[in-house]
Amino acid sequence: MSIVKIKDKTFKTFIPEKEILEHVKVVADRINEDMKDKNPLFLAVLNGSFIFAADLMRMITIPCQISFVKLASYQGTTSTGKITEVIGINEDLAGRNVIIVEDIVDTGLTMKRMVETLGTRHPESIHICTLLVKPEKLQVDLDIEYAAMSIPNDFIVGYGLDYDQEGRGLRDIYSIVK
């Protein structure tokens, strides 16, 4: 087990990169099967999902496209509850099969807002794909079709996830040492 210190917090290895990639492959295989002949548009939520989205896309074998949107709802280690769309969507979503690619779904409030926002653009379908989900923390009902892993309600960093904008480049996922 590895220990890292980021700012004023200490983190320990929680999920090694090898295990993460195994779970990403399972999700990619399911999407490849479910979305064959549908040419989905992957919509990756920045900043946190960029590593997951890159690894996922390398495992997708069907025709598809990817674009990015940036939402913000975190500050430090807690959600602010205020969700702001920073970078918008430029693609025409009408009639498209959209797969939202997120790093983590905890309360679900950000994802619910995103699904509602995308729904106004008349896509054929909207699917949620997340690296991590915290079932204990969900506050809204969401259909998360593609969740690579469920985790407890611990604060984590690494593999794109950050603590106050640091730690995203760690290859493994680390949980906070209490």
**What digits encode the pLDDT tens for the residues 21-38?**
999 999 999 999 999 999
Q: Is 106 a catalytic residue?
A: yes
Q: In whole angstroms, what is the distance from residue 156 CA to residue 13 CA?
A: 9
Query: Coil, strand or helix: which one is 147?
Result: strand
pLDDT tens digits for 105-125?
999 988 998 898 899 899 999
Instruction: Please say if the pLDDT value at position 83 is more than 80.
Output: no
Query: What mean pLDDT comes out for the span 136-149?
Result: 96
Digit-coded pLDDT (tens) for 156-167: 999 999 999 999
pLDDT at residue 86 in the model: 44
- Evaluate if residue 137 carries a pLDDT over 50: yes
Supply the pLDDT for residue 12: 98
Percent of the chain scoring above 90 in pLDDT? 80
Supply the pLDDT for residue 16: 98
pLDDT score for 125? 98
> How many Å from the N-terminal Cα to the C-terminal Cα in the chain?
16
Phi-psi label, residue 171: left if phi above 0, alpha if psi -120 to 50, beta otherwise: alpha
- Separation of alpha carbons 128 and 132, rounded Å: 11
C-alpha to C-alpha distance for 172 and 114, rounded to whole angstroms: 27
Interhelix angle for 17-34 vs 50-59, to 10°?
Answer: 60
pLDDT given at position 38: 97
The reported pTM is 0.92
β-pair partners for 152? none
Per annotation, catalytic residue among 8, 55, 103, 106:
106
d(C-alpha 136, C-alpha 140), whole Å? 11
Query: Per-residue confidence at 71, pLDDT binned at 50, 70, 90?
Result: confident
Predicted pLDDT at 143: 95
In the predicted model, what is the mean pLDDT of residues 58-77? Answer: 82
pLDDT value of residue 70: 83
Which residues are CB-neighbours of 90 under 8 A, at least 6 positions away?
A: 67
Q: Yes or no: say if 136 and 107 are a contact pair by the CB < 8 Å rule.
A: no
> In whole angstroms, what is the distance from residue 105 CA to residue 150 CA?
10
